[in-house]
Amino acid sequence: MATCGEVLVKLLEGYGVEQVFGIPGVHTVELYRGLARSSINHVTPRHEQGAGFMADGYARTSGKPGVCFIITGPGMTNITTAMGQAYADSIPMLVISSVQSRSQLGGGRGKLHELPNQGALVAGVAAFSHTLMSAAELPGVLARAFALFQAGRPRPVHIEIPLDVLVEDADALLASQPVSITRAGAAPSAVARMSELLVNAKRPLILAGGGSIDAAAELTRLAELLDAPVALTINAKGMLPSAHPLLIGSTQTLVATRALVADADVVLAIGTELAETDYDVTFAGGFEIPGTLLRVDIDPDQTVRNYSPTVALVSDAQSAAQALLDGVAKHSLAERCSDWGQARAARLRAELETTWDAPTRAQTLFLHTVLDELPEAVFVGDSTQPVYTGNLTFNPERPRRWFNSSTGYGTLGYALPAAIGAWLGGGQERNSRPPVVCLIGDGGLQFTLPELASAVEARTPVIVLLWNNQGYEEIKKYMVNRAIEPVGVDIYTPDFIAVAKGLGCAAQAVSGVEELRVALRAATDRQGPTLIEIDQTQWMKAVSA
């Protein structure tokens, strides 16, 4: 007899799942009966939040949903923060949990790990939550989840399986086949109207978000055809290479870039929420789009949020970008303003270059030193100073090479477990995966420090670059600027080198560019993780000397 738990694993294999993150527990062991005989790899984090962050990082580099096996009750409360980050950034994540037996659901009888309503718990951080009331429902609910991942706005999905359903006879389901869904194409009427507006624009501009990263090639050609400057959100970094003459980076929070956007007469916003953390991190408003706004998104609801469009198109970004490219190419373009396009983008970049202060330049040097040594690196960031700087000044050469938790939900502790997942999602062959760099501060690392042991156990050679400023410096500055006496921000800082070594990692401290280069070279030769600590004060002194 094949149980529901065993058939679940077989169906996941059919959907192409290669990796699962989870901590086995008394309520999930029946999932592992099938997992042990499958082709799916399993990684054990040290906390269910870590499982969710690993799944998030895995999804971002692989483009596939990250899958978690989570225990009833505390496992679900622990993973909700990670689900919140994935929900905010539209990351596909499948959370499969156990739950009390059907006769015990919501009973309040003091059962082990009992929660009154796990579905209600995750309602705000999941596209949907489904309780499997019989094994027969399994193929249908999995099809629903993967249909969302494949063709809709991808977000976490939660499926909970009662303990008695997990062991139910499911032989009849062994022949079930995965369902494949194609994303919505671009409606010709909307494409025609948008193409007409873009063709006649004198100062067109493109705002591209994380929902459009698979359309990088098409959007680049469209921008070149229109001579339109391109601004990218943090999650879209790399869609245009760093030296592209139309790239204006991810600087929409700065006054000069806002002025450029305000000057555009037609703005194409594709795969972006036009939300606060991408366009108004100052939380004071001021980002305006007075020109004609065209919006493309896979989510109909999102096309009218925050900024109302003149024309909206519900479509897969790649299909829409190709359709717009074809539509624009059919017509002769109106005469562009002579100081627009590449000329205006170059002027903006030159202007911004003069505004960076000494800390910004020092942190940018830090990032580019890493890139010089590891040109193929994936940068996975937390909420920490070099990440804030990199969001403004750093541009990778390809998509899926820079992402972090300083936007969207904005959680701390994300980068380390997400980097583990990102490395695992980097390709089939271990030796061909790009190096993964974790950018994290001393405060954030203490949220998920035990996941260093997970990295050792999984033999993931992530390089943890610890930016140590002995506390929550950014929040301390914020308090001081608001005339609030700092409290709770000068936290105890442990000996990270000793802790990392105790957990089985290679670890060292560096204080300057050449020391960092040597440490990075050594880290790339290892099969396991390396922690490199950079003291902020020492780095500033070394690079300014």
Same domain as 137, residue 267: no
- How distant, in Å, are the alpha carbons of 82, 150, 416, 477 from that of 412? 10, 29, 10, 18
Helix/strand/coil for 157: strand
pLDDT at 98 (0 to 100): 87
For residues 132 and 196, state if they share a domain.
no
Beta-bridge partners for 266:
204, 292
**Domains: count for the chain:** 3
Residue at a domain's end among 290, 315, 350: 350
- Domain of 343, in residue numbers: 188-350
Q: State whether 324 and 421 are in the same domain.
A: no
Tens of pLDDT, residues 127-183 = 999 999 999 999 999 999 999 999 999 999 999 999 899 999 888 888 888 988 888
Is residue 256, in this structure, part of any structural domain at all? Answer: yes
Cα 16 to Cα 11: distance, rounded to the nearest angstrom: 9
Q: What is the CATH number of the domain that holds 61?
A: 3.40.50.970
**Residue 183 pLDDT:** 86
User: 183 lies in a domain?
Assistant: no
* Domain identity same for 15 and 156: yes
What per-residue confidence (pLDDT) applies to 302? Answer: 93
Please, which residues have CB within 8 angstroms of residue 57's CB and are 6 or more apart in sequence? Answer: 66, 380, 417, 418, 419, 420, 421, 422, 425
pLDDT of 395: 95
- Any domain includes 198: yes
Residue 237 in any domain: the answer is: yes
**In the prediction, which pLDDT does 185 show?**
87
Q: Is residue 31 part of a domain?
A: yes
Please identify, among 301, 323, 350, the residue that sits at the C-terminal boundary of a domain.
Answer: 350
pLDDT tens digits for 313-366? 999 999 999 999 999 998 888 788 889 999 999 999 999 999 999 999 999 999
Strands of 41-43's sheet in order across: 41-43, 19-22, 66-70, 93-99, 156-162, 128-131
Clarify whether residues 325 and 372 are in a common domain: no
Q: Which residues of the chain are modeled with pLDDT < 70?
A: 280-284, 545
Asked, for residue 178, whether it belongs to a domain, the answer is no
> Are residues 466 and 376 located together in one domain of the fold?
yes
| 118 within domain boundaries | yes
- Do residue 203 and residue 126 come from a single domain? no
Residues 299 and 339 in one domain: yes
- Domain co-membership, 331 together with 437: no
Residue 224: which CATH number? 3.40.50.1220
Where are the alpha helices (H) located in 15-106, listed in sequence order?
29-35, 48-62, 74-88
Shared domain check, 365 and 314: no
Out of 298, 329, 350, a domain closes at 350
User: Is 179 contained in some domain?
Assistant: no
Q: Are residues 162 and 290 in the same domain?
A: no
13 and 136 co-located in one domain = yes
pLDDT at 544: 81
